[in-house]
């Protein structure tokens, strides 16, 4: 596995793959890797002959300097996991490599970035689309793989690639979970033991919602099932429940007529330094 710290090194690695007639799959991460990230690598490996990964804790997608500073960094273990998974090249750039001085260009999906979870984290998706467009331009992959756990992020990136005619196929990969149902996330490492146990409430609430759901069931009933379940867990602070039409991201209202997507944002830990966890589920009646 080639470990590249500069844009010119990764460009040279990818150019050599292309010259040999290989196809390139990209997996972008912020490190602190776990089995969820490895599922993206496996999907890329199954469909492409070469896999490129990136590890970059992107400052522009953090609203809060403390959250950025607290983000776990486990570079040696990450490189070992990527190597074991058969990744061909990895880019680990400095922030200055990605955001040169006087960087002023941003990429934003103007509507999708500013609804739902985007309202809870202003500027977050703009940071994501800006960095992902840079990483697409740097690595020029045929396809890129993103987790369905970050459901709005996946839709935002698909829309960006489509709107800007980027020659990259964007694929979603199902969420990998711990044995109790908690979606794997690098942030889980920041939970106290008690909060870690309580965090199962996200997937439990989604199970309850799925049990309630069905054709012509009031969306309000599904919404109530989610809120009641989360609010019954004293360690959890519900930040957002969104139930939308997965095709348009418009709020689902009235009776359930077709597929819905549910997105949850729930905080744990101290108010001044919380750990925000998200989870999602698509339900077809």
Contacts to ligand AMP by CB under 6 A: 29-30, 36-37, 39-40, 146-147, 149-150, 173, 175-176, 183-186
Identity of the residue, 172 or 244, whose beta carbon is nearer to ligand AMP in the bound complex: 172
The minimum distance between CB 61 and ligand AMP, in angstroms, equals 9
Which C-beta is closer to ligand AMP: that of 32 or that of 244? 32
Q: Per DSSP, what are the bridge partners of residue 145?
A: 27, 171
- Provide the strand spans (E) within 106-250: 143-147, 169-173, 237-244
- Spatial neighbors of 69 by CB under 8 A, at least 6 apart, are none
Distances in Å between the alpha carbon of 237 and those of 2, 70, 115, 244?
A: 43, 20, 20, 21
Min separation Cβ 114 and ligand AMP, Å: 20
C-alpha separations of 72 from 5, 56, 151, 206, 251 in Å: 19, 12, 22, 27, 34
Q: Is 37 a catalytic residue?
A: yes
Q: Are 269 and 196 in contact (CB under 8 A)?
A: no
Q: Which two tokens stand for residue 27?
A: 């997996």
Which alpha helices (H) appear in 140-183, and where do they start and end? 151-163
| Smallest separation (angstroms) from ligand AMP to the CB of 256 | 26
Closest approach of ligand AMP to the CB of residue 191, in Å:
15
62 contacts 68 by C-beta, under 8 angstroms: yes
Question: Among 152, 140, 151, which Cα is nearest to 113's?
Answer: 152
Give 44 or 256: the residue with its C-beta nearer to ligand AMP: 44
Q: Which is nearer to ligand AMP, 40 or 206 (CB)?
A: 40
* Dihedral of alpha carbons 180, 251, 283, 232, sign: positive
CA distance 261 to 249: 8
The residue annotated as part of the active site, out of 34, 37, 117, 124, is: 37
Q: In this complex, which beta carbon is closest to ligand AMP, that of residue 92 or of residue 173?
A: 173
Distance in Å, CB of 79 to ligand AMP, minimum: 15
Q: Which residues have a catalytic role annotated?
A: 37
């Amino acid at each position: 596995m080639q470990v590249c710290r500069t844009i010119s090194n990764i460009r040279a690695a990818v150019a050599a793959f292309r010259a040999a007639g290989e196809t390139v799959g990209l997996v972008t991460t912020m490190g602190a890797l776990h089995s969820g990230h490895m599922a993206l690598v496996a999907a890329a490996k199954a469909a492409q002959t070469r896999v490129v990964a990136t590890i970059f804790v992107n400052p522009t997608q953090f609203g809060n300097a403390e959250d950025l500073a607290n983000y776990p960094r486990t570079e040696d273990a990450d490189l070992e996991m990527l190597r074991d998974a058969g990744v061909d090249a990895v880019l680990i750039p400095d922030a200055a490599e990605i955001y040169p001085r006087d960087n002023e260009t941003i990429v934003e999906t103007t509507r999708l970035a500013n609804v739902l979870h985007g309202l809870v984290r202003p500027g977050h998706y703009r940071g994501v689309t800006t960095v992902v467009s840079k990483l697409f331009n740097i690595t020029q992959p045929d396809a890129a793989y993103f987790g369905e756990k970050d459901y709005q992020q996946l839709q935002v990136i698909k829309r960006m690639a489509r709107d800007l005619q980027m020659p990259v196929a964007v694929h979603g990969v199902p969420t990998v979970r711990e044995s109790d149902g908690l979606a794997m996330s690098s942030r889980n490492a920041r939970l106290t033991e008690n909060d870690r146990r309580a965090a199962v409430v996200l997937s439990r609430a989604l199970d309850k919602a799925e049990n309630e759901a069905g054709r012509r069931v009031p969306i309000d009933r599904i919404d109530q099932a989610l809120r009641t379940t989360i609010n019954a867990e004293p360690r959890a602070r519900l930040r957002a429940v969104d139930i939308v039409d997965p095709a348009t991201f418009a709020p689902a209202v009235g009776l359930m007529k077709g597929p819905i997507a549910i997105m949850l944002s729930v905080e744990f830990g101290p108010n001044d330094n919380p750990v925000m966890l998200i989870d999602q589920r698509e339900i077809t009646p």
